[in-house]
Amino acid sequence: MAQIHPEIRVMMKAAEKAARSLIRDFGEVENLQVSKKGPGDFVSAADKRAEEIIFESLKHDRPRYGFLMEENGTVAGEENTRFIIDPLDGTSNFLHALPHWAISIALEKDGEVIAGVIHDPVKNEVFHAFKNTGAFSGRARLRVSERNDPMASAIATGSPRRTAEKQARFMKEYTAMSHFSPGLRRFGAASLDLAYVAAGRYEGFWERDLKSWDVAAGILLVKEAGGLVSDLDDKHNNPVETGNVLATNAALGPQIKKVLQDTQT
């Protein structure tokens, strides 16, 4: 295996620092489940604290880079390079003491994502990729699955929270996909959904209206693992920007895309 790129090491270090903080907070969340007030405010503070830890670590190691963050927005840098950070993807899971959430950090240069790290503190898994060098979990190379039977596939998704129109569109897509494959999953953390496509655990993932910090690192992982990634509506659009993401293995990708596109006619 090729040596881990220095940028990846910097990102992994920042994620590990935040992971330690979040794991401590997650233990407290489990205790707060039984209280009348619940853990909502505590989780919001944990999210912000994790982002600050990541920001300070990356800013120390790469002082000239900019930032795009879920909680604190944009911080300009001196170079056309920036980190895209989601300190806690799967906040609702975290809030309910469900052990499925992650830290996602991507590095974008001249408008293109070139590095990504997704750290799952609960399962102690770190997924990472650097452009043109492959995707890995630790030091193990990741490959998308070769399954080509829809009936034996696992496909993940997420549902929109916004308008009735968007919810109705999702239900059309979900119904069509449920006829295509019985193995639909919704676990509530887009970064891990994408990492699992890259790792061959899922054959596909689709979701609309995501934010760039949800998907930037995961999209690179899928591409570097040999998968297919596109915008759900227009192949010329960048799904990191639109947030309408379809990520699949090569074997089932065209079929999944057709099923979803047919719901729009």
Final residue in a domain of this structure, among 90, 119, 141: 141
pLDDT of the residue at 15: 99
Closest CA to 99 of 119, 126, 70, 121: 121
* Over residues 26-43, mean pLDDT: 69
* 101 and 221 assigned to the same domain: no
Asked if the structure places residue 246 within a domain, the reply is yes
* 98 and 165 assigned to the same domain: no
Of 71-80, 173-182, 228-237, give the range with the top mean pLDDT. Answer: 173-182
Asked if the structure places residue 64 within a domain, the reply is yes
**Cβ–Cβ < 8 Å for 142, 256:** no
* 24 and 108 assigned to the same domain: yes
Closest CA to 3 of 139, 152, 123, 108: 139
CATH for 246? 3.40.190.80
Q: Which residue has the tokens 């929109």?
A: 160
Asked if the structure places residue 48 within a domain, the reply is yes
* 59 and 133 assigned to the same domain: yes
Final residue in a domain of this structure, among 141, 159, 180: 141
Supply the pTM of this predicted model.
0.94
pLDDT of the residue at 116: 99
Q: Which phi and psi angles does 104 have, rounded to 5°?
A: -125, 125
Report the phi/psi class of residue 38: left, alpha or beta, with left for phi > 0 and alpha for psi in -120 to 50.
Answer: left
Closest CA to 226 of 146, 126, 111: 146
**Percentage of the chain surpassing pLDDT 90?**
81
Closest CA to 40 of 24, 25, 20, 18: 25
Q: How far apart are CA 171 and CA 234, in angstroms?
A: 20
* Domain ranges, residue 71: 6-141
Q: Where is pLDDT greater, at 259 or 72? A: 259
Identity of the residue numbered 227:
G
CATH for 115? 3.30.540.10
* 172 and 133 assigned to the same domain: no
Q: How far apart are CA 104 and CA 113, in angstroms?
A: 13
